[in-house]
Structure 1
Amino acid sequence: MNAPTLGYDERLPLYQRLREEMLAKIAAGEWMPGSPIPTEAELTKLYGVAIGTVRKAVDTLVNEGLLLRSQGRGTFVRRPNFDASLARFFRQVNASGGREIPASRILSKRLQKPSDTVATALKLGHGEQVVHMERLRMIEGRTLFHEEIWLPAMRFAVLLEVDSESFGELLYPFYEQQCGQCIASATETLTVGAADSAMAKTLSIEEGAPVVVIERTALGYDRAPLEYRLSRAAAEGFRYQIDIS
């Protein structure tokens, strides 16, 4: 059997073309998050390239955070822990002081036309719709975050048919399970605003009190935007920490 031909721009170095081929397999779901990829020897044989080319392509994807090497076990498609980003900025603790993942409650989900901001963030074409969801993140009944989430309807419309009680505490594994859409990376921007009357009631704070707004755009392994999210929380629970060396 002949080795697959590496496509893409032939002006690119061979390792970059191999990187694109490997990334395409991840994006297509052939190599799933948490699963091992073929060994270097298998990739060398499959694509008919030198082992140095394979290693450089793999190194590039490891450095980009898309693959993870595990000593003695192999190389795996990395599954990012996005909820850890919230833990950097807010104390997610229960009454006994233990850390925990906030419980979730879906308030609403519907199909709608996106705003210009959402359409731009998700790179939607004219006339494309989104699935819009609202949910609360809570610890022991206390609301920690209010979230608005927008998803391209062409990829996530099936979520409209899923009972809200069936959604898990973490949405990204749920997207993967229900829609076959895997989140690979995200960018976040933090700003501070003031709570209007509705948000003040939701977060149990005074109207006009400061709220931290976390704006997130999440991308698939093919770099296509899959989710735009706004998370709001009372600023009194906000903390910022960075280690400088």
Structure 2
Amino acid sequence: MQALPKTRTDGRLPLYARLRDQLASRIANGEWSPGDMIPSENRLAEEYGVALATMRMALKQLVDEGLLERRRGTGTFVKQPAFRADLFRFFHVHDVEDPDGPVIPESRILSRQEVDLPPEVKRAFGDDAGGRCLKLERVRLWAGDPLLFEEIYLRLPDFDGLMSLDPKEMGPLLYPVFLQKFGILISSATDELSFGTATQASAKYLELPANSPVAVIERIARNPVGRIIEYRRVHGRPERFRYRVNLGEQHT
């Protein structure tokens, strides 16, 4: 029987929640990779010494979170991440030939360097942040026009090898690179949207006048156990910004 180590500090969590964390850690550390079939509910319940109903609750939580998927008549699998350029949902862009298709922009890495942790990144990364991180600057284009300027901060030593990685191996999306080259799965992210003023760098690469207004997106991305892996600050051209939400019937 496998013991349940504490993956969260609050031991008051119900057993199924602590069990969920332990199972998620097996995804985060690469023991179970995307596309793998995990052991059956019965086998896992026996392995951890818990009731079958408790194991089912833990697995259901991971399914609801999108980390696992059930396939009828086959089993339960680690879900393949659906990598999309989802920051572009805030901007009015579409493919003329396939207006409903996925938006995959062109991306250009401008710089890669090891830097001291800025205060906001240190706060996001938490107590185990260390003192240094890897910073990427990237511009993203649509139909040849610059749309987003990104400053991306990544943990060290997790991404040591990214400094020497051939840009041709990186492609337009970073999260597949994180998984394929470094074994790091991004399973969730939080985007916070606001408006601000272009910096010298973002004005240059977005081809805007100095001090122009920009849309600002701050992203915090996590692995399956909730560890923050990436902090990203994005400036976008304001005239392409859009916000759309579908609401149910409202009575006011």
TM-score band w.r.t. shorter chain? 0.7 to 0.9
Change (3 A) 1:11 1:244: closer
Change (3 A) 1:91 1:225: same
Query: Which blocks of at least 5 consecutive residues in structure 1 are unaligned?
Result: none
User: Is 1:132 aligned to residue 130 of structure 2?
Assistant: no
- How far apart in 1 are the matches of 2:60 and 2:130? 40
- Whole-Å separation in 2 of the counterparts to 1:162 and 1:71: 40
Residue by residue over 1:217-240, the C-alpha shift from the partner in whole angstroms, topping out at 9 and shown as x without a partner, is 111122221111111111111111
Question: Taking structure 1 as the reference length, what is the TM-score of the superposition?
Answer: 0.87
**1:82–1:166 Cα change, 3 Å:** closer
Shift of 1:51: 2.0
1:33 deviates by 2.7
CA RMSD of aligned residues (A): 2.5
Partner of 1:116: 119
Identity of aligned residues (%): 42
Q: How far 1:12 sits from its partner (Å)?
A: 4.8
Summarize the alignment of residues 139-218 of structure 1 with structure 2, pairs less than 5 Å apart: 139-196=142-199, 198-218=201-221
**Structure 2 counterpart of 1:154, one-letter code:** P
| Whole-angstrom CA distance in 1 between matches of 2:86 and 2:148 | 13
Q: 1:84 and 1:242, CA in 2 relative to 1: closer, same or farther beyond 3 A?
A: farther
Q: Does residue 1:39 correspond to 2:37, yes or no? A: no
Q: Displacement, 1:96?
A: 4.6
Single out whichever of 226-235 and 28-37 deviates more from structure 2. Answer: 28-37
| Aligned counterpart, 1:66 | 67
Q: CA deviation at 1:112?
A: 1.3
Asked if structure 2 preserves the Cα contact closer than 8 Å seen for 1:92 and 1:101, the reply is: no
Matches of 2:108 and 2:127 in 1, distance apart? Answer: 27
Encode CA deviations 1:5-36: one digit per residue, 9 max, x unaligned.
33448765432342232122112211123333
Q: Say whether the 8 Å CA contact 1:79–1:184 is kept in structure 2.
A: no
Deviates more, 1:5-14 or 1:148-157: 5-14
How far off its partner does 1:102 sit?
A: 0.4
Q: Which residue in 1 is equivalent to 2:31?
A: 30
What does the per-residue CA deviation read over 1:156-178, in whole Å, with 9 as the maximum and x for residues that have no partner?
Answer: 11101112232121101101222
Aligned equivalent of 1:5: 3
Give the deviation of 1:133 after TM superposition.
Answer: 0.6
SS at match of 1:150: strand
Letter matched to residue 4 of structure 2:
L
SS of residue in 2 equivalent to 1:154: coil
Cα distance in 2, alignment partners of residues 148 and 197 from structure 1: 13
